[in-house]
Amino acid sequence: MKRVGIPRGLFFYYYYPLWKSFFVNLGAQVITSAPTNCLTVQQGIDSMVDESCFPIKVYFGHIKELCREPIDYLFVPRIVSVERRSYICPKFMGIPDMVRARIKDLPPLIDTIIDYSRDNKMMDNEILKAGKLFTSKISRIRDAYQAAYKELQFCKALAGQGYTMAEAINLWEGIPQPRFNCDTHLTVGLLGHGYSLYDQNISMNIIDRLRSMGCKVVLPEELDKQAIESRAALLPKRIFWTLGRKMVGSALYMAQSQDIDGIIYVACFGCGPDSMVGEIIERKIAGKPYMLITVDEHTGEAGLVTRLEAFCDMLKRRRIRNGADHFSPHG
């Protein structure tokens, strides 16, 4: 049985059920790296250039870990686009090349090009190309992909019920996840790239910290996709980054929601899209308390907790005074 390594980083949190099911349906065994820890981060920092954003460094740490495992292939897709007329950050396009350039003694890479920006024909060829590493039967590869896609839809449905994508993946893998029942008195909209929010090391476990402070956390995956798109379409120019548009649309949606007391955006230091998207959001949601938290490998836990506590205290006071003392810095 061939073994495929899948790093627990970047689009793992959006597509792992699809990728894993696809390879398993073709008779392979899938091995994932452990959840991000200090060693992962250090290995990533050591093997990636300083200028890179934090999630990319963490991804490299996961690859280093998998290189020590007995695997036959390492799945490092070249993600260009996951929908029409929209793109993913250019760093994703170069990842297989960066990995080959920076990490020695790599197993063979499966560097499937994921590009849905134009038509499905190219994707069809890429799926077949990856599948032929495991079987020569084209019908089996197509069936494997279709069945895997259903698994992904199942996980997304779970994420729509208030689970984070990380929790949904755990549930899908058969690991029970407790429902977080606390005496919620605040509702906070939390924005950021999934690979930052759902990686407990990168986000410093911000979701559970907010929950333990009595906040109900609303994530973009819980919101209606059409509603997000319609809010994002209110901007004078279309944002062509898929995740950036999702953040802006979600922020505008949350800003109009009476149920949401405040919005927190977790950005990554060194992230080009975040620097623009965060600024747009700040200017557009004038009526709602908003906090931008920038994370990197130097982020301190105490500083984060202090800011979260201060933000929650401010939301509570604002609720008591019915928002009368809120003045947006952008008017």
Q: Which residues bind ligand SF4 (CB under 6 A)?
A: 53, 55-56, 89, 91, 193, 268, 271-274
Q: How many CA atoms lie within 13 A of 75 on its CB side?
A: 31
Beta carbon of residue 318, minimum distance to ligand SF4 (angstroms, whole number): 31
Q: Is 36 helix (H, G, I), strand (E, B) or coil?
A: coil
Give CA–CA dist 310/102, Å, rounded: 41
Between 151 and 221, CB nearer to ligand SF4: 221
Beta carbon of residue 182, minimum distance to ligand SF4 (angstroms, whole number): 30
Beta carbon of residue 278, minimum distance to ligand SF4 (angstroms, whole number): 11
Between 235 and 276, CB nearer to ligand SF4: 276
Q: What residues does 105 pair with on adjacent strands? A: none
Cα-based distances in Å from 43 to 15, 38, 106 = 24, 9, 15
Beta carbon of residue 61, minimum distance to ligand SF4 (angstroms, whole number): 14
Q: Read off the DSSP letter of residue 87.
A: B
Between 239 and 271, CB nearer to ligand SF4: 271
Beta carbon of residue 90, minimum distance to ligand SF4 (angstroms, whole number): 7
| Cβ 260 vs Cβ 223: under 8 Å | no
Starting at the edge strand found earlier in the chain, the sheet holding 290-295 runs 215-218, 186-192, 262-268, 290-295
Kindly write down the DSSP assignment for every residue of 117-174, as one continuous string.
SS-SHHHHHHHHHHHTTT-S-HHHHHHHHHHHHHHHHHHHHHHTTT--HHHHHHHHTT
Between 109 and 266, CB nearer to ligand SF4: 266
Q: Is 2 helix (H, G, I), strand (E, B) or coil?
A: coil
Between 162 and 272, CB nearer to ligand SF4: 272
Beta carbon of residue 152, minimum distance to ligand SF4 (angstroms, whole number): 21
Between 134 and 265, CB nearer to ligand SF4: 265
